[in-house]
A and B are shown apart, each in its own frame.
Chain A
Amino acid sequence: MLAKRIIPCLDVTDGRVVKGVNFVDLIDAGDPVEIAKKYNDQGADELTFLDITASSDNRGLILNIIEKVAEQVFIPLTVGGGVREINDIRRLLNAGADKVSINTAAIHNPSLVSNAANRFGSQCIVVAIDAKKTGDHWEIFTHGGRNSTGINAVSWAQEMAERGAGELLVTSMDRDGTKSGFDNKLNKEISSRVNVPIIASGGVGNLDHMVEGVINGHADAVLAASIFHFGEYTIEDAKAYMRNKLIEVR
């Protein structure tokens, strides 16, 4: 049976992994290659790197990191953050990324997703959706949840899947950083409307949240950052816990 995936997310800036809450008070958490190896050894099913480098001068550093990680870690690697055009995707894939996650650029230019899927295959195109509850529905937000686009998140998810996204990374901006669990209603709604896998993201504070993400939110994979970075739980802890709740894991 296909296993539900557990994906640690590493925020990278200027070549280092950082940790913090809601991108505030970032502290250095170490070398990306070492951390990637550690999670791999713990049994992570994939790794996601989010490049939050502000200065364009240092954007190229992520390519170096991915090259080094790909030489030593043999599980799928996804990279997101600052992906604007086909050439960004090509560079990341050539550096060793298996999938590239497109976020804001898809909103400005939805055809980037279709073009990228045609060029490189749907299997390596992830669309990241940052959604926030607005009245009785969810809308897509940009800039860390500050700016509304007015786009309905569920119909957006459908459009992205139709355009060739091979996977959707759904982050609840209401829950991100709150440690109160995923927005499982949002995830379930999207998961029931699209036929591609969904990664639930935003809000994990304990292992029950991961279980709920799969069972209540119908997520195919769960992504978490802080609970792993701060050493509260290892990936092994998470898997043992989920297995105990009869969720299929590797």
Chain B
Amino acid sequence: MIAIVDYGMGNLRSVYNAFKKVAPNLNVVITSDATEIRKADRVVFPGQGAMPDCVRELSSLGLTDVVIESTRNKPFLGICIGLQMLHDFSDEGGVNGLSVIPGKVVKFRPKNHFNKVPHMGWNQVSQIRDHFIWNGINNNERFYFVHSYYVEPENKKMIAAKCSYEAPFCCAISKDNIFAVQFHPEKSSTSGLQLLQNFTRWKI
């Protein structure tokens, strides 16, 4: 079973639909139930909106512990704010994250006015390290991004991919059973679907 963690921040249906598309026979659930998340074989941790709201909602539903626990023992996929929240701290609202990944979340401050914030649209993902999740996905393939903040993990070895928006930034991290991306695979057409399918087959 794949559990998509639902803590009331945004619509998770696209993520659900995308998994059903690539793995029609898999049991996929959108859930706020800690027991169900604990039982799941794989956990997807999405997130949209502002990180302070996400941290607060996750905590108010009593899901913070089970998410941290899932980052230690099963294939875990973070998406967008789900990637950012794994870090120690975000400049967005000066809020603490889950401290699973040492590092912080900072805002884009482009000097060139042509570069708008949010960074929105299809940008190239350059794979820094080999990973099962990249199977069948070309290096520098484009994925759909929409975000104003990005992560700066302390340990550069955790960077699985970079993207460039005026300057290079980390757009995917991997550590043991954790893979987390800043872009939206569920909105990234064929390459995104490939990534999600790989996640359903990833063995740790």
Binding site for B on A (CB under 8 A): 1-5, 40, 45, 70-72, 74-76, 93-94, 96-98, 120-124, 166-167, 192, 195-198, 218, 220-221, 250
Contacts and interface: CB of A to CB of B under 8 A. Distances in A.
B120 A45 contact: no
A158 to B, nearest CB: 14
Nearest to B18: A74
Interface of B: 10-11, 13-14, 17-18, 20-21, 48-50, 113-124, 142, 144-148, 164-165, 186-189, 192-193
A3 B143 CA distance: 10
B165 A94 contact: no
A121 B48 contact: yes
- Give the top 7 A-B pairs by smallest Cβ distance, nearest first: A121-B49, A250-B122, A3-B122, A123-B146, A197-B116, A2-B123, A93-B11
A75 B119 contact: no
Given A40-B189, A96-B17, A121-B50, A167 B120 contact: yes
Contacts of A74: 14, 17-18, 21, 186-189, 192-193
A4 B114 CA distance: 12
Contacts of B165: 2
Contacts of B164: 1
B173 to A, nearest CB: 21
13 contacts: A2-B122, A3-B122, A71-B21, A74-B186, A74-B192, A96-B17, A98-B11, A122-B118, A123-B49, A123-B120, A123-B147, A166-B120, A197-B121
Contacts of A121: 10, 48-50
A196 B14 CA distance: 24
B10 A96 contact: no
B14 A2 contact: no
Contacts of A2: 115, 119, 121-123, 145, 165
Given A70-B14, A74-B192, A197-B121, 19 more contacts: A2-B115, A2-B123, A2-B165, A4-B121, A5-B121, A70-B17, A74-B14, A74-B17, A74-B186, A76-B187, A93-B10, A96-B17, A120-B49, A122-B118, A122-B148, A123-B120, A195-B117, A196-B118, A197-B118
Given A74-B186, A74-B187, A93-B10, A197 B120 contact: yes
Contact of B113 (A76, A123, A166, A192): A192
A45 B143 CA distance: 10
Given A76-B187, A196-B117, A250-B142, A5 B13 contact: no
Contacts of B117: 195-196
Contact of B11 (A5, A96, A198): A96
B144 A76 contact: yes
Contacts of A76: 144, 146, 187
Nearest to A73: B189
Given A75-B187, A120-B49, A94 B144 contact: no
